[in-house]
Structure 1
Amino acid sequence: MKKYLELEKILGHTFKDKKLLKHALLHRSYGNENKEYKKISNERLELLGDAVLDLVVTEYLYKNFKESSEGDLAKLKSMVVSEPVLAKISRKLKLGEYLFLSKGEEVTGGRDRSSILGDVFESVLGAIYLDSDLETARKYGLSHLVYEIEHIYENDELIDFKTALQEYSQRKYKEVPTYELIGEDGPDHAKFFKIGVFINSELVGSGEGKNKKTAEQKAAKHACDSLGIKYIETL
């Protein structure tokens, strides 16, 4: 009970139905070692929370990004409700510490696994919605997500710079960018690759990485920065 009170304080919501909070924290692995929870997990609440989150975020974007196209709003929404963002918020809330996990899931790092943490943010949101109403759930969700929305372009992990560059190149030059290996360093077991990206045979960006995919993404980002390209035009 003490742990629930601690978590409610962190969440800023006192549950009328404490069972909802517990269900929101029940990972499906817990039932493998506890027969009474064999058919109970947070997956149904996660589904509900996902729907609430989708509505809340879409509504916020619609009202606050009035000059954005439907396509840009869809891109932005998919970035905001992505696993990295939701897992980041769950880590801030320390939700991993309160999860009910199997011993096997716990020893393999389940409490800090992004997929699990992203899901539990949604299941808790679903629980708050059922315990109260949509307005309460909206306030809870946006209290954590507005900052992420306003700073989303600073999160390189979420942005597909290769797609942004390709769309720009096709629109302006009717040509697809090409990526070429322009250098590599290090021993065979620890290679470091340098990739250049070209448009009309002109080098527009370069990037380095431990694999070619990472280097290409960095090269595309370099090109986007140099050419003033934004993944979402109104940000």
Structure 2
Amino acid sequence: MESFVLPPPATVMLVSGRKALMPNISPEALPPLPEIQSEEIRLQVYTHRSYAARPTHRFEDLPDDPSPDNEKYEHLGDSVLSMVVTELINDIYPYIRVGPSTKIRSLVVGNPTLASISVHYGLPEDLRMHPAQAITLRHSQNVQADLFEAFVGGLYLDQGLDAVKSWLCPLFHPYVVEGYGQVRIQHCLPPESDLPPVFPTLNAALPMSSRYAANMGHLSLFNQHLQQQAKSIEWVFSDSVGQGTRTTPIWVVRAMVDERCIGSGRGSTKKAAKNEAAKEGLRNMGIIVSLFRPPLRMPPLRLSRIVRTIGRLGRR
């Protein structure tokens, strides 16, 4: 099959404003496209639903007249691809948590990335469809991505899971690495895990200062502004091993809004750490926050003084 050059990142626009993962690799480095042995499966993999113009409102096809399009293969391929990529992520990064792993998988198997790979292999060139929609469908990102998933599903039915993994694992390895770096950046971490930690200079021996304790109103103000903007926030607590003591631990947190860190903080309690992160987030949002001053402390009244005062009032 003719070789296709991966398009440059600027030309691959994604749904929801995202872009396809573009690892720094040459097209020749990607594994060759496997060959589906079954002619029946191969033909159906490359058949768009517009080709037969079947009605879409049917609950199921007749036993003697199944639909000839690739939607069932695409549905199956989506599940197989997700499973293989999830396993690949865990093999490459065995200690990654589920949340970041899910974000990496979303980037790797998202339509923009799959569409760019589909175009690289030239899959849309062999797509059978209604002639009147040929130009539109061949250049549709969703159709390109669906066709790749249909090919995965067809290969799975034709040759089994081992054949699929032997192709997809080397194919998606650089994409997983690229996605890993992007998700680390979203979490305010360096792209590479062997770089210094995000908070290398924290002094865990210092207790929370009185000024720090007096400024606990930033968190509520921060939440209020986010609610007004219909924004949701994710609090990501970092590993604080080596910080603080067993009796006075130090909590480190990042405030994530739209998958972007807008503030970080630390404190002897989770709430105090979140408040510090909220204060930094307010500054980054352009909101000027004045420091809250602690109330004046009144000298304590002695019990003997209180008794004398009550006695004088009783004699009046």
**What CA RMSD, in Å, does the superposition of the two structures yield over aligned residues?**
3.2
- Work out whether residues 111 and 117 of structure 1, in 8 Å CA contact, stay in contact via their aligned partners in 2: yes
1:22 is paired with a residue whose SS is: helix
Query: In structure 2, how many angstroms separate the alpha carbons of the residues matched to 1:123 and 1:55?
Result: 15
Query: 1:31 maps to which residue?
Result: 52
Answer whether contact 2:263 2:279 (CA < 8 A) is retained: no
SS of aligned partner of 1:15: coil
State how many pairs are aligned.
Answer: 172
Q: Relative to structure 1, is the Cα distance of residues 154 and 98 closer, same or farther in structure 2, using a 3 angstrom cutoff? A: farther
Match for residue 151 of structure 1? 178
Counterpart check, 1:173 vs 2:242: no
TM-fit CA distance, 1:129 = 0.7
Q: Which residue of 2 aligns with 1:20?
A: 41
Aligned to 1:111: 138
Q: Distance in 1 between matches of 2:165 and 2:105?
A: 15
Q: Report Cα offsets for 1:113-137 as digits up to 9, x if no partner.
A: 1100100110001111111010101
Distance 1:201 1:18, change over 3 A: farther
Structure 1: stretches of 5+ with no match in the other structure: 1-5, 180-196, 203-235
Deviations 1:51-110 (A, max 9, x none): 110110111111211221111111111111100010010010011101011122213x21
Q: Does the 8 Å contact 1:86/1:117 carry over to 2? A: yes
Distance 2:142 2:152 in 1: 16
Aligned residue for 2:37, secondary structure, equals coil
Equivalent residues of 1:169, 1:199 under 8 A apart: no
CA 1:12/1:81 → structure 2, altered by over 3 Å: closer, same or farther? closer
2:53 and 2:280 map into 1 onto residues whose CA distance is 50
In structure 2, distance between residues paired with 1:176 and 1:81: 34
Do residues 56 (structure 1) and 94 (structure 2) align?
no
Deviations 1:145-197 (A, max 9, x none): 112112226779xx799523257558561359579xxxxxxxxxxxxxxxxx5
Q: Residue 93 of structure 1 corresponds to which residue in structure 2?
A: 121
Would you tell me which structure has more helix in proportion to its own residues?
Answer: 1
The verdict on how the C-alpha distance between 1:154 and 1:76 changes in structure 2, with shifts beyond 3 A counting, is: closer
Residue identity opposite 2:278 in structure 1: K
Residues in 2 aligned to 1:201 and 1:119: alpha-carbon distance in whole angstroms: 48
Distance 1:103 1:63, change over 3 A: same
- Could you give the per-residue CA deviations for residues 22-62 of structure 1, whole angstroms, max 9, x where no partner exists? 111111111129xxx98321000001111110110111111
Alignment partner of 1:198 out of 273, 278, 285: 285
Residues 201-212 of structure 1 mapped to structure 2, 5 A cutoff:
201=288
Deviation at 1:199, TM superposition (A): 6.2
CA displacement at 1:198 relative to structure 2: 2.3
Q: Does 1:128 align with 2:128?
A: no
Structure 1 residue 76 corresponds to structure 2 residue 84: no
TM (normalized to structure 2)? 0.48
| Matching residue of 1:164 | 259
Q: Name the CA distance, whole Å, in 2 between partners of 1:167 and 1:62.
A: 28
